[in-house]
Amino acid sequence: MILDPFGIDTTHCLIGGEWAPCKSGETLALHDPSDGSPLCAIARGDAPDIDCAVAAADMAMEGEWGRMAAAQRGRILHRIGLLVGENIEPLARLEAQDVGKPLKQARADVIALARYMEFYAGAADKIHGATIPYLDGYTVYTLREPHGVTGHIIPWNYPMQIIGRSVGAALAMGNACVLKPAEEACLTALAFGELARQAGLPAGALNIVPGQGGEAGAALAAHPGVRHLSFTGSVAVGRRIQAAAAENLVPVTLELGGKSPQLVFADADIDAALPFLVNAGIQNAGQTCSASSRILVHESRFDEVVRAMAERYRALRAGPALADFDLGPLVSARQKSIVEGYLDKGRDLTVAARGTIDGDAPAGGAYVAPVLFTGAAPDHVLAQDEIFGPVQVVIPFADEAEALAIANGTPFGLVASVWTADGARQMRLARALRAGQVFLNNYGAGGGVELPFGGTGLSGHGREKGFEALYGFSTLKTVAALHG
Ligand code: ADP
């Protein structure tokens, strides 16, 4: 299929600035999760294609891209961002069809991608080294340098946002990227590659090889020519990526999701909290690394919060992505059966409320109505596992110590939020919560391109977004000159 209006063949890879089929010529089928119908075919890249992509990236580092002034890199990123911004509608429609995201959420992702490009365009020439006072007769300074070829393995839930935060930051620092999109979600990655080419990104600075995780993905993770790996996805695959990185002794950034809590204290402004409590659970049908799947509420306000959340849940509707309901389908029938498996494990809990699936939603779509549970002990599987579906549990607590113990009582640590007017409590908990981001009287802060993001424990390590990402995508060289 030719990707409209980008004019590229969906079965092609982008290597060295050229679009071409993968070496085997094999393809994988993409399906529209809104009705299960075949969408198009994509390349089934594998190790030989990854070899070519790494070689092309290497050549880019040796050539024009590697020598380019930081300000010029910034200008190119800026142009990419402008082109993305000129294509909000076609990109959003592609994403909606490919991953089942409701149109308004897909549009927000395109805008976030454009914003990442804008942010990293501006940052490209603002990261610099230092001079260090040293012994008499010496001048010592540091240089921030790109790693070289960087590997980016991304998931299907937010392809555009993750391209923005990962590839955007890596390019800003002057690395040459090899991107392996998820097999379920390639189309906006391919479109992005074409827009980057049109914006004047030199050949080989961004290479895109679609394919399966165990094939193209594993080959990229293990490739000795790759000098840094960034991965967003499951804990199980994250372990494999880190093991592969260990073989080549290269740094790795892992963002592996979470079980993020919101803590609602007795003095919280419940009306202000409500939209955040619910949206953080059902946005993108719960298929969000930073989804808030645990709502911890002081026992004095528990019934009130459950009642108010339940009312919102009952109004939620899931339906085809292009029809733009509150929720689309899940990304695939496989993901739907994983989530339904969890709903089954919640049979001993109380369903406080359930949303609905629109009556006209096609039977072949991967729809799951959102479910709000109560009655889960903090160690219940639904309060411990990352479900990656529209499922939240509400758990009562008696005091701050218990709230903290429950909040920190999972192996994850990505995001947390605290709803309270008590400033001292806010400060205490901001320090004590095990999370890479803590929000006070809000959740998610509107995307937060500028805000360092990443986790601890099973949520992974390393930081993306903001300026911090630029340190991760570069290395520091110390130069010591003895001149007398
Ligand atoms: P999910 O379970 O949400 O699909 P995964 O962690 O399986 O998330 O996938 C995230 C990304 O990792 C995808 O691009 C996928 O192709 C890739 N991937 C899966 N398995 C491997 C692997 N063994 N090596 C490298 N990449 C992989």
The residues spanned by each domain of the chain are 2-256+461-479, 261-447
Q: Among 379, 388, 359, 360, which Cα is nearest to 291's? A: 388
Q: Which residues in 163-185 are b (16+ Cβ under 10 Å) and which e?
A: bbbbbbbbbbbbbbbbbbbbbbb
| Token pair of 175 as six digits | 């690395």
Q: Whose CA is nearest to atom 18 of ligand 1?
A: 213
Q: How much distance in Å is there from the Cα of 193 to the middle of ligand 1?
A: 20
In eight-state DSSP terms, residue 18 is E
CA distance 320 to 304: 32
Give helix then strand counts, H and E, for the chain. Answer: 16, 24
Q: What is the pLDDT of residue 169?
A: 98
How sure is the predictor about 444, in pLDDT bands with cuts at 50, 70 and 90? confident
Superfamily for domain range 261-447: Aldehyde Dehydrogenase; Chain A, domain 2 (3.40.309.10)
pLDDT greater than 80 at residue 327 = yes
How sure is the predictor about 445, in pLDDT bands with cuts at 50, 70 and 90? low
CA distance 267 to 438: 19
Q: The whole model's pTM is what?
A: 0.97
Rounded to the nearest 5 percent, the helix, strand and coil shares of the chain are 40, 25, 35
pLDDT greater than 70 at residue 201 = yes
Query: Is 24's C-beta closer than 6 angstroms to any atom of ligand 1?
Result: no
* Mean pLDDT (whole number) for 400-425: 98
Rounded to the nearest 10 degrees, how much is the dihedral formed by the CA atoms of 171, 175, 178, 179? Answer: -30
Ligand 1 pocket test, candidate residues 153, 158, 284, most atoms within 8 A of CB: 153
Q: Among 177, 172, 174, which Cα is nearest to 230's? A: 177
Ligand 1 pocket test, candidate residues 163, 180, 190, 237, most atoms within 8 A of CB: 237
Q: How much distance in Å is there from the Cα of 406 to the middle of ligand 1?
A: 30
Bridge partners, residue 143, by sequence: 477
Q: Is 255 a catalytic residue?
A: yes
Main-chain dihedrals φ then ψ at residue 418, nearest 5 degrees: -130, 125
Instruction: Judge whether 321 and 106 are in contact, CB under 8 Å.
Output: yes
* Residue range 14-56, pLDDT digits in tens: 999 999 999 999 999 999 999 999 999 999 999 999 999 999 9
Q: What is the pLDDT of residue 446?
A: 62
Task: Give me the percent of the chain exceeding a pLDDT of 70.
Answer: 100
Main-chain dihedrals φ then ψ at residue 14, nearest 5 degrees: -105, 110
Query: Is 214's C-beta closer than 6 angstroms to any atom of ligand 1?
Result: yes
Alpha helices per DSSP H over 230-332: 235-248, 270-282, 302-315
Q: How far, in Å, are 264, 271, 274, 397, 419 from residue 422 at the CA level?
A: 12, 17, 18, 17, 9
| Token pair of 271 as six digits | 């009306």
Residue from 13, 22, 186, 289 carrying the catalytic annotation:
289
Half-sphere exposure of 69 (CA within 13 A, CB side): 3
Average pLDDT of every residue of the chain: 97
Question: Coil, strand or helix: which one is 232?
Answer: strand
Half-sphere exposure of 310 (CA within 13 A, CB side): 13
pLDDT greater than 80 at residue 447 = no
* Mean pLDDT (whole number) for 365-381: 98
Instruction: Judge whether 164 and 110 are in contact, CB under 8 Å.
Output: no
- What are the residues whose beta carbons fall under 8 Å from the beta carbon of 24, sequence distance 6 or more? 44, 46, 48
Does the domain formed by 2-256+461-479 have CATH 3.40.605.10? yes
